[in-house]
Amino acid sequence: MPESLAALQTWLLDGIVTGSAGREAVEQRIVGDEKLGAEGRLAVYAGGYRARLIEALRDEYPALRLLVGDTVFDLFAAGYIAARPPRHFSLYDLGAGFADHLESTRPKDGGAALMALPAAVARLERARAEVQRAEGVERRRERTLLADAAMLPGLKLRLPDSVRLLRLDFDLVALIEASECGGKAVVPEPRPIRVAVARSRYRMRLHVVEPWQLAWLEALGPDGAEVHAAAAAAARKCGRASGALLADLVLWIPAASAAGLVLRA
């Protein structure tokens, strides 16, 4: 019985994506000639497809490409595509696991801090891509929260969908800025840093936050929490007095609201 069109399409897609089609299977399904054989014809599509995927990763991770250079970046990207072939039609989903792949495949001995850098950069850039795509606060009509209103008992706040919180081992801010303005690569300084990526008024920004600020934002979470309860949880986590943390929040909540970091739940 002849092979069905659906089965043939599935085989062709798998052969292009994974490059695992055997020679005999290729010659049974693809007709070659004296100019280009069956395997060569398949290789044209496979090579073009993988080149387009690498190009998409270059666009999503400009800071990492600036840091390591085109040749090394393309090796990273090719290894990722081979290990985790895309299974979704959207190129947006392509880079979702790139940071995890770089982390799992990095050498574990010698220069450990430096070897962890590519994955850290990729993780931050993926967070930026997610924030750019997420539903933001731009269409909401509520005004910036004022301190007196924000501290009312029972008021619940939450993280908008367009916020990502990260703990990083490198200060990547200067590198991100260099990639945005066409500057030269900046080797990040190894030091713990806490970052909130948020979008407000259609502009995405990196906010370097204090430990207590990150702890409070994490306590709110996407589902929301009462302001005072979240402050108490953050104070316990940071080893601070609740009253002192609440005093800091009075000053910071309006700025956090204006930056798109928090919303009324």
- The model's confidence at residue 191, banded by pLDDT at 50, 70 and 90, is very high
The pLDDT of residue 2 is above 80:
no
The pLDDT of residue 111 is above 70:
no
Whole-number pLDDT of residue 222 = 95
| Direct distance between the N- and C-terminal alpha carbons of the chain, in angstroms, rounded to an integer | 60
Q: Are residues 9 and 82 in the same domain?
A: yes
Q: What integer is the mean pLDDT of 24-38?
A: 68
DSSP string, 147-175: HHHHTSTT-EEE--TTEEEEEEEEE-HHH
Q: Are residues 251 and 176 in the same domain?
A: yes
Domain boundary among 131, 159, 186: 131
Distance CA 108, CA 181 (A): 33
Whole-number pLDDT of residue 107 = 83
Whole-number pLDDT of residue 144 = 74
Q: Are residues 72 and 110 in the same domain?
A: yes
For residue 155, how far is the Cα from the chain centroid? 31
The pLDDT of residue 229 is above 80:
yes
Domain count, the chain: 2
The pLDDT of residue 173 is above 80:
yes
- The model's confidence at residue 102, banded by pLDDT at 50, 70 and 90, is very high
Question: How high does pLDDT run on average in the chain?
Answer: 87
User: 174 with 183: CB under 8 angstroms?
Assistant: no
Distance CA 262, CA 231 (A): 14
- Phi, psi of 210, rounded to the nearest 5 degrees: -75, 160
The pLDDT of residue 138 is above 90:
no
Query: How wide is the angle at C-alpha 134 spanned by C-alphas 132 and 136, nearest 5°?
Result: 90
Q: Are residues 139 and 209 in the same domain?
A: yes
Q: Are residues 165 and 152 in the same domain?
A: yes
Domain boundary among 82, 116, 131: 131
- What percent of the chain is predicted at pLDDT more than 70? 88
The pLDDT of residue 30 is above 90:
no
Distance CA 190, CA 187 (A): 9
Extract the runs of DSSP E, i.e. beta strands, from the chain: 156-158, 163-171, 189-200, 203-208, 225-226, 263-264
Q: Are residues 148 and 195 in the same domain?
A: yes
Tokens of 243: 């009253």
pTM of this structure: 0.85
Query: How wide is the angle at C-alpha 241 spanned by C-alphas 236 and 247, nearest 5°?
Result: 115
Of 261 and 148, the one with more pLDDT: 261
Most confident option among 6-15, 31-40, 79-88, 230-239 = 230-239
Distance CA 236, CA 218 (A): 13
pLDDT, tens only, 61-96? 999 999 999 999 999 999 999 888 887 888 889 999
Whole-number pLDDT of residue 142 = 67
User: What residue numbers bound the domain in which 235 lies?
Assistant: 134-265
The pLDDT of residue 188 is above 70:
yes
Extract the runs of DSSP E, i.e. beta strands, from 1-59: none
Whole-number pLDDT of residue 193 = 95
* Low-confidence winner among 20-24, 123-127, 209-213, 219-223 (lowest mean pLDDT): 20-24
Q: Are residues 1 and 65 in the same domain?
A: yes
Element containing residue 118 per DSSP (H, E): helix 117-133
- The model's confidence at residue 216, banded by pLDDT at 50, 70 and 90, is very high
- The model's confidence at residue 20, banded by pLDDT at 50, 70 and 90, is low
Domain boundary among 107, 131, 155: 131
Whole-number pLDDT of residue 166 = 98
Indicate which CATH number applies to the domain containing 175: 3.90.930.50
pLDDT, tens only, 57-69? 999 999 999 999 9
